[in-house]
Amino acid sequence: MPNIQELQDFSSQVRRDIVRMVHAVQSGHPGGSLGCVEFFTVLYKELMEYSTDFDMDGKNEDLFFLSNGHISPVYYSVLSRVGFFPVEELKTFRKLDTRLQGHPTTHEGLPGIRIASGSLGQGMSVAVGAAETKKLNGDSHLVYSLHGDGELQEGQIWEAAMYAAGNKVDNLISTVDYNKKQIDGETDDVLPLGDLRAKFEAFGWTVVEVEKGNDIESLIKGMNEAKSLTGKGKPVCVLMHSEMGNGVDFMMNTHAWHGKPPSDEQLEIALAQNPETLGDY
């Protein structure tokens, strides 16, 4: 059985990492990162089978691709905290000539990162290709991807979705961070997404909805349900209803913190709301 308190403690530390990283360089994207803390915690602490002895091929292990690469702070924090690289390297976030760039890159060889991401709309295509490769290689492991809901305004997403269903790529689980906010405002105000469940189902996907996307127990249940639906001829989409800025009260319920760093005073408020549990870097 999952140790929920341990996962919550891990999440608290990751939120501290996020706000400290973004504050240190006064640059980065805290809102979406905070909203996906519990997802990354469940993914890397409970769901995926992987090795921290990293290689780019990823044979005989589950793979994850971050499509909305601007939320790199949460990705870097979790990768370091589960052992891909030293936690102290988080100090180098967004600094010149380091491995932890604002959007993940591959040319510096950061363990855990298999694609450069940040040009929105591309991650699902990569994930589909990786999933097909596993099928061709007789590898029964799964491929996971994460996407912003605003990212679904990109046409390439729907090309990839159509291809995945048409070719029965049923070892793929693509999660949408469905917080209904993007950099310019509410998604309904920028470009309405309509009924996402109906759209993915119309494209031939199986859809699982997680109504409490920032609740660890709900996420574990929903992601395990998605996992149980793989291998049945259809790719699986998880619509994860989350809150941008979750865990820092003044960053929640607004799109304003999509790409805005906290001040010194705001950092202290955010840290006070998230106890240190594993040790700061």
Report the distance separating Cα 220 and Cα 147, nearest Å: 18
280 in a structural domain: no
Helix (H) or strand (E) holding 199: helix 196-202
Q: Give the CATH number, domain containing residue 104.
A: 3.40.50.970
Which residues lie below 8 Å from residue 59, measured CB to CB, with a gap of 6+? 137, 139
**Span 86-111, pLDDT tens digits:** 999 999 999 999 999 999 999 999 99
**Span 148-177, pLDDT tens digits:** 999 999 999 999 999 999 999 999 999 999
203 in a structural domain: yes
Instruction: Check whether 20 has a pLDDT greater than 90.
Output: yes
Report the distance separating Cα 278 and Cα 235, nearest Å: 36
| DSSP codes of every residue in 141-165 | --EEEEEETGGGGSHHHHHHHHHHH
Q: Which of the four pLDDT bands, split at 50, 70 and 90, describes residue 13?
A: very high
In the chain, the percentage of residues whose pLDDT exceeds 90 is 98
* Burial bucket for residue 23 (CB in 10 Å: 0-12, 13-18, 19+): buried
279 in a structural domain: no
Q: How confident is the model over 116-131, as a mean pLDDT?
A: 96
281 in a structural domain: no
Structural domains counted in the chain: 1
70 in a structural domain: yes
Instruction: Check whether 1 has a pLDDT greater than 90.
Output: no
Report the distance separating Cα 210 and Cα 197, nearest Å: 12
> Within 13 Å of residue 138, how many CA atoms lie on the same side as its CB?
0
Q: Which of the four pLDDT bands, split at 50, 70 and 90, describes residue 239?
A: very high
Q: Which domain holds residue 153?
A: 4-272
Q: Is the dihedral of CA 160, 164, 167, 171 positive or negative?
A: positive
Q: How confident is the model over 190-211, as a mean pLDDT?
A: 98
Q: Which of the four pLDDT bands, split at 50, 70 and 90, describes residue 241?
A: very high
**pTM score:** 0.97
278 in a structural domain: no
